[in-house]
Amino acid sequence: MCVGAIGASAVAGFFLAPVVVPAALGAAGFTSAGIAAGSVASSAMSMAATAGGGGVAAGGLVATAQSVGAAGVGLAGKAIGAA
């Protein structure tokens, strides 16, 4: 792969990620209404809660995914909002 193609891929990823990431999280069950029952998200939350002794750690992967899924923004938008 040439350098130009790598650069073009990086630029495309930069612009597509804010759309693709929230859509993928929503499809996995991380929704604005909460974690969807019977979804991949609910399985992930169950595993995280079991590993955490009954609770899901704030700032962990599941909590962050739910936050981003609920807000409907990418991680960059979440970081900008926190600033």
Average pLDDT for runs of 10 along the chain of length 83: 68 75 86 91 93 89 88 60 57
Q: Which amino acid is at 44?
A: A
* pLDDT recorded at residue 80: 56
| Alpha-carbon gap, residue 32 to 10, rounded angstroms | 29
Give the number of other Cβ atoms within 10 Å of residue 19's Cβ: 10
Specify the pLDDT at position 40.
94
d(Cα 17, Cα 67) in Å, to the nearest integer? 16
Of 80, 68, 82, 61, give the one whose Cα is nearest residue 22: 68
Instruction: Tell me the residue range of the domain where 35 lies.
Output: 3-82
Q: Which amino acid belongs to residue 73?
A: V
Q: How many domains does the chain have?
A: 1
Main-chain dihedrals φ then ψ at residue 4, nearest 5 degrees: -65, -40
